[in-house]
Amino acid sequence: MPTNHTSRFLTLATALTALLTAAGCTDLDAPIESEYTPSNFLSTPEQFIAASGPVYSQMRGEVAKAYWNLQELSTDEAVIVARNGNYYDGARYQQLSLHTWNPQNEFVRVAWEWGFSGISTCNRTLALFQNTPDGAFKTQFTAELRTMRALYYYLMMDLYGNIPLVPEFGSTEQPANASRQQVFDYIERELKEALPNLSAEVSAQTYGRPTQSTAQALLAKLYLNAEVYTGQKKYSEAIAACNAIIKGKKHSLAANYMDVFAVENGPQVSEIIFAVPFDANLAQGNMMSRFALHQQMKDKFNLLFTPSNASLTWPEFFALYKEPNDTRNQQWLSGKQYLGDGRTPVLIATTKKGLDSRYTGADGNDKINYHLELSDKLTFRDPAKFDVGNDELGKAQGTRNIKYYPDKSSTSRDQGNDLVLLRYADVLLMKAEALLRGGQDPDGATPKDLVNQLRTRAQVPALATVDLNSLFEERSREMAWEGWRRNDLIRFGKWESVWGRA
């Protein structure tokens, strides 16, 4: 049954008008509580890292939750359904899918507060750095914080459009709303000025902190979307930023696609350009498995917690995975389910009525063993609430994503997988797209050659030609559930498309 998409025109920028006028409610000038002073602090890399810590812990706070929800649940990649009322939660998830949110939507509000708290934390820490003696450590870590601040600004500008440019720490000036062009210019300037002082090395010591590759990848994102943000084409600039990463040879495609997102991912994965580190016990906030897995997957993946069975993908998006041998298919769970040995069926002890609450036979209480089969379809029993029912057939609806592979060591529903924000495969795709949109490459690369590097890794045949449509489909398969789908749909003119026909 089709869902109602009549209100898709409502944008995040519109929804945030009320929040912009109330920006003073967020404490942007909270004092730093520390036992350290400039006379006894910040003279070694370890001390600068310690002082920078809040900037990175703030990034971890909502990047895999409220921010991810806005970027993915508002698209064809992800949806949270209700199950006989469970997870309806006042329609906060459905509002994202239907594009009918307002400033009261929890995720719109929380992501805003998270992003601007991150900017404020960067400003406070930079102010502390200013009071330390000049030196190589100060120069590098100042550049890193400026890059992190630019990243926060980019995420906020991408989501909300016109946003305040927050004054430097200590200023009595109130934050003033800036145009998207002004914010774009600010981000570009900050990244360019910080870039030479960032580390060119990619190692365990720089992992989770911005390097020159991070700044170039973020510039590539900025330029690739410049036509959306400012009306100006900057595709050649996007190519130049991608080329700096490609020629630097600090990054390469991982041999195994799923290794990039595994529980054990980290600095050994050369494909990762910038990731937000998580730990199931010490640095929590990544709950991908908790929401995506059917409850019975506890046994399949030997989990120490029971998943929530909430997050699915729309059938139209899953249909993009057309080639059965594509190794990227490993990120999806669909069809009949088996335990880890691949042979033992996942059986659910239930009754005929428990299997299907609509069953009307007199033998409804007869016991049966149901072999769990995850359906590729979504059929809403209550379309207004995206409700699929909470019997076993309802629970089994929808394809599940396990790109961030379940963490069997977790006892708290949190995972240890680091969340990957920028990676080398995305750089290749961005360059291919910028070429197709008219950008110039002095190195003479072709979109086909760039895209086919990914297809070779995915073990599917090379494409003979690549146009924007085939590039979009390839990007869809490669980048699923990584927090870039909303950004991509807008750039490709598909943000207002209708999906969700079950």
Q: What is the CATH number of the domain that holds 47?
A: 1.25.40.390
**18 confidence band (pLDDT: 50, 70, 90):** very low
Same domain (yes/no): 55, 183? yes
Stretch 449-455: mean pLDDT, rounded?
98
In a domain, 446, yes or no: no
Last residue of a domain, one of 383, 401, 419: 401
Q: Confirm whether 372 is domain-assigned.
A: yes
User: Under DSSP, is residue 326 helix (H, G, I), strand (E, B) or coil?
Assistant: coil
Distance CA 229, CA 20 (A): 19
Q: Is residue 406 part of a domain?
A: no
> Is residue 192 domain-shared with residue 309, that is, in the same domain?
no
Domain residues for the domain of 52 are 10-26+43-198
Q: How many CB atoms lie within 10 A of CB 180?
A: 18
Same domain as 171, residue 69: yes
Residue 97: inside a domain: yes
How many other CB atoms are there within 10 angstroms of residue 29's CB atom?
14
Asked if 18 and 119 sit in the same domain, the reply is yes
Q: Pull the structure tokens for residue 253.
A: 């495609």
Predicted confidence (pLDDT) per residue in 381-399, tens digit: 999 999 999 999 999 999 9
Number of structural domains in the chain: 2
Q: Residue 2 has what pLDDT?
A: 38
**Domain identity same for 49 and 177:** yes
Residue 8 has pLDDT above 50, yes or no: no
**3-state secondary structure (DSSP) of residue 472:** helix
Reported as half-sphere exposure (CB side, CA atoms, 13 A), residue 459 has a value of: 10
304 in the same domain as 161: no
Six-digit token string for 412: 């708290």
Does 397 fall in a domain? yes
Tell whether 192 and 292 lie within a shared domain.
no
Q: Is the domain of 62 the same as that of 168? A: yes
Query: Within a domain: residue 104?
Result: yes
> Same domain, yes or no, for 48 and 154?
yes
Is residue 258 one of the residues assigned to a domain? Answer: no
> Which among 131, 163, 198 is the end of a domain?
198
190 and 296 in a common domain = no
Are 193 and 296 found together in one domain? no
For residue 501, name the pLDDT band (cuts at 50, 70, 90). low
Query: What is the pLDDT averaged over residues 95-121?
Result: 96
Give the CB-side neighbour count of residue 278, counting CA atoms within 13 A: 31
Look at residues 198, 218, 245 and tell me which one is the last residue of a structural domain. Answer: 198
Return the half-sphere exposure (C-beta side, CA atoms, 13 A cut-off) of residue 496: 7
Give the number of C-alpha atoms closer than 13 A to the C-alpha of residue 438, restricted to the C-beta side.
5
Angle at 126 between CA 123 and CA 132, to 5 degrees: 155
**Is 364 within the bounds of a domain?**
yes
Answer for the pair 128, 42: CB distance below 8 angstroms, yes or no: yes
Structure letter (DSSP) for residue 338: B
Nearest Cα to Cα of residue 129 among 203, 227, 191, 36 = 36
Q: Which of 302, 301, 241, 305 is nearest to 273 (CA)?
A: 241
Structure tokens given for 379: 């059929």
